[in-house]
Amino acid sequence: AVARAGVAIVSGLARGIDSIAHRVAVDEGTPTVAVLAGGIDGIYPRENAGLAERVMAHGCVISEYPPGVKTRSDYFPRRNRIISGLARATLVIEAGMTSGALHTAHHALEQNREVLAAPGSVFSQQSAGTNRLIRESAAKLVGSAEELCEELNLLSLGTQLALGRAQPPGGEAVARESAAPAVATSPEEGRVLRWLEEGPLHVDEVARRAEMPIHEVTGALLTLELRGLVRQQEPLTYLRTSGAGR
């Protein structure tokens, strides 16, 4: 929903949440910026080279390093200050205690930017850093894409359209034309959607039934929520929306 509202997304082209954020943005035709920790002629990780090409078609890939500079681990924390500096707000999802996302959140706070965090399972080490940000009041808790838009005062007409709160002029016909069921774009998303056919489920129950690691489930749910295929009924409990084809 956030991407469909036209909100530009800034991230680091890394594996996991970064890749998901960029992919959703380009799929929705939303501007997105990838900030690298090395020269722009050396995409890291290499498997994201194709994604980088798609990002450049909808936004840009930037770096403070000149071409030819190889990616180094100590460049990532420095790179993260650019990500937070370019953004109005930083959203942290699935950050362990040593995650680079915590560096980004720290930079955002120093830059007087807003920091938001999506809570994760208390049993997952990959959510320990995220939950700590919330516990220490360093980040505001957001439980859905709609809450994120509300927190950032993004509920313009365009955002309301994306969230289904308003219709465009002559919108009934437009709505009908775009009402074709959306589908999952990865096997993980498909497995999660299938289990949610039975009704609302907690993320831990989805992981148990689908026999998937919790981080894969939460990643799939994030993408599905951004696409408007699922929504949170209550914290960490999701259900399918009417837009999800069955």
Whether residues 146 and 218 share a domain: the answer is no
Whether residues 86 and 26 share a domain: the answer is yes
Write the pLDDT tens digit of every residue in 190-223: 999 999 988 999 988 999 999 998 878 887 887 7
Q: Is residue 141 part of a domain?
A: yes
Total structural domains in the chain?
2
Q: Is residue 221 part of a domain?
A: yes
Half-sphere CA count of 174, side-chain side, radius 13 A: 9
Distances in whole angstroms, Cα of residue 102 to Cα of each of 38, 96, 105, 124: 20, 8, 5, 16
- Indicate if the pLDDT at residue 173 is higher than 70: no
CATH number, domain of 209, equals 1.10.10.10
To the nearest whole number, what is the mean pLDDT of the chain?
83
Whether residues 144 and 91 share a domain: the answer is yes
Residues above pLDDT 70, as percent of the chain: 83
pLDDT band at 163 (very low <50, low <70, confident <90, very high): very low
Whether residues 31 and 86 share a domain: the answer is yes
pLDDT at 243: 59
Write the pLDDT tens digit of every residue in 98-132: 999 999 999 999 999 999 999 988 888 999 999 99
Whether residues 76 and 131 share a domain: the answer is yes
φ, ψ of residue 172 to 5 degrees: the values are -65, -45
pLDDT at 3: 65
Domain that holds residue 230: 187-240
Q: Is residue 169 part of a domain?
A: no
CATH number, domain of 59, equals 3.40.50.450
Whether residues 140 and 226 share a domain: the answer is no
